[in-house]
Amino acid sequence: MADDGGFKIDSGFLGVSQSLSGRAWRQRPADPALIRAHRQGLGLEEPVARALAARGVGADQGADFLTPTLRALFPDPSSFMDMDRAAEAIVDALLAKARVHVFADYDVDGASSAALLVRWFRAMGADLPLYVPDRLTEGYGPSARAFDTLKAAGADLVVTVDCGAAANEALAHAAAIDLKVVVIDHHLMRSEPPQALAVVNPNRPGCNSGQGNLAAAGVVFVLLAALNREARRRGLFADRPEPDLRQWLDLAALGAICDVTGLTGFNRALTSLGLKVMSDWRNPGLRALLAAAGAEQGAAKSHHAGFILGPRINAGGRI
């Protein structure tokens, strides 16, 4: 604050008092003690330490925020309500050679969630047909009509991804026609879950996973870890290699970025490491989209996911 003839004038931030639109520029408040802790504990310069403190990164969280790792931040899949039940139901269906279908939302998060699950099934030597509802004739999410179609196609089990948590009426219809359903979602939902074998959603009332900032792709990635664990428990890797989930981190990052989720904690690790995997451009679909956009390969950034790849995936559900 500077004094001008007895009046106080806000000098703003870095000597700039306001933006072109007239909005005041102010330095984001941060706890001086926390800034000091980051500087001393991590050897950071003041601006970086201040940025961490201003974002609410605690003194014991700085290292994981700057260099997030799955080893340090991966949650126990069992901390998600119904996760173990979902894994058991899916592995049961796999062993019984039941006809499993994945039902996905038509946006990037739904597409990347389905792609993760399809890749795991393929690694296990099984096919996983994909069903995406017609935006104009079926609307958003599961419906009685869609479940009738899947039942007629011979489906025994449907796994919904990025949808289903609030589709109570549609799921009740699925139960009425003897179609089993597992729901994997992240959207807010009613206190009463839909009728299903399992409803996995970190934003489900009563779920204590603490992972409410995950996109559906992140929840599916944790599901894959639960599936590996359940399959390992049943000895399914005696004659086949266990799927290495790290190769699919690019899809988890794509969902997290395009769904504009909070990149903190485990979700930050998924995204940071996923962009590194994406940078190799081994995924033929993502590589083709990059080429279609006229962009060059190189180190993948959030810009690639949010502004180059994501809009082209979304286009199919928007036109």
Question: What average pLDDT does range 123-150 have in this prediction?
Answer: 93
Looking at the chain, the whole-number percentage of residues with pLDDT higher than 70 is: 96
As a whole number of Å, the end-to-end CA separation of the chain is 53
Q: In Å, what is the CA distance from 189 to each residue of 55, 141, 146, 186?
A: 28, 13, 21, 9
Contact 171/194 with Cβ under 8 angstroms?
yes
Contact 77/53 with Cβ under 8 angstroms?
no
Of 185, 200, 155, 190, which is closest to residue 169 (Cα–Cα)? Answer: 190
Would you say the pTM of this structure is higher than 0.75? yes
Q: CA 199, CA 165: separation in Å to the nearest integer?
A: 7
Q: What is the mean pLDDT of the chain?
A: 93
Site of tokens 């306001």: 18
For residue range 160-193, what is the model confidence (pLDDT) as tens digits? 999 999 999 999 999 999 999 999 999 999 889 9
Class of domain 77-318: alpha beta
Residue ranges of domains in the chain: 77-318
For residue range 75-87, what is the model confidence (pLDDT) as tens digits? 999 999 999 999 9
